[in-house]
Amino acid sequence: MSLLLTHTRYQFLETVRVPIAVIGNGFFPAASMLFFVVPFAGDDPVGATLATASMMVFAVMSSGLFTHGLGVSEDRAQPWDPYTRTLPAGPWPRFGARILNALAMTLIGIVPVLIVAALFTEATVTPVRFLLGFLALMLASAPFQLLGLFIGYALPSKAAIAVVQLTLFPMAVGGGLLTNPVDPPAFIDAVAPFLPSRGAVELVWAALGYGTPDTLALVMFGVWTAVAAVLAAWAYRRDEGDRFS
């Protein structure tokens, strides 16, 4: 546990020493709230609450993909990374620290969303539902953290940033995070259940007391998580083999 906390502290400090990384982590979800939610759903308590949850899932996606996808690929280019792999602690403290650091960045990312929702919308939720929604949000982060790890271990940093962007925004739009949650376009409604972003946001909506998650969306969320876990493990082992072969 002490090794896990030491690695977590190191990675967190390394992240926050680049302020733009922290600012950018919360900017896109908060900006999306201001431009997409406040003007169109801010006066509707149900619509504003669902849309706020969508933006929080967007923040989770952004944090998982960028923190791991870019952070891991940049770390791999540094001489410190292969050295840490030779230490007797093994890979799990570093892996666990990356997950905890991404969750910390997630918390930083959702705070601006909550502030915008509280100040400029009619979104409302009870304390108990808020806690359940937060726990669902942490669960919803799983496939995006794993996809970020896969990208980070599989690609160099210049390629990773492009792949992260090509992954994040289509998944956010296709999953219905940036459209009306009450009445999405027909195309989005047809595509969304097959993307992990839809299963993630429906988990959070259900935790907040709005509906029951679609079965297909939940199944595909589980499939994406399992496939992402396999890909992340494969990419890590391949990178390990390339470095020490």
Residue linked to tokens 């979104």: 123
168: in domain: yes
pLDDT band at 18 (very low <50, low <70, confident <90, very high): low
> Mind listing the pLDDT tens digit for each residue in 151-176?
999 998 889 989 998 999 899 999 99
State mean pLDDT over 51-75. Answer: 86
117's tokens? 């929702």
243: in domain: no
Q: Please give the full DSSP string across 122-149, using - where no structure is assigned.
A: -----HHHHHHHHHHHHHHTHHHHHHHH
> Mind listing the pLDDT tens digit for each residue in 66-121?
888 887 887 777 776 666 666 666 667 777 788 888 888 888 888 888 888 888 88
142: in domain: yes
pLDDT band at 17 (very low <50, low <70, confident <90, very high): confident
244: in domain: no
245: in domain: no
229: in domain: yes
Q: Which of 235, 244, 226, 210 is nearest to 50 (CA)?
A: 210
Sequence-distant contacts of 9-15: CB under 8 A, at least 24 apart: 10/97, 11/71, 11/97, 11/98, 11/101, 12/101, 12/104, 15/67, 15/71, 15/101, 15/105
114: in domain: yes
145: in domain: yes
Counting the structural domains of the chain, the total is 1
> Mind listing the pLDDT tens digit for each residue in 126-144?
999 999 999 999 999 999 9
Q: Give the separation between CA 97 and CA 103, rounded to whole angstroms.
A: 10
Q: In terms of residue numbers, what domain contains 45?
A: 2-238
SS3 category, 177? coil
SS3 category, 197? helix
Q: Which of 165, 230, 227, 153 is nearest to 196 (CA)?
A: 227
> Mind listing the pLDDT tens digit for each residue in 193-236?
999 999 999 999 999 998 889 999 999 999 999 999 999 989 98
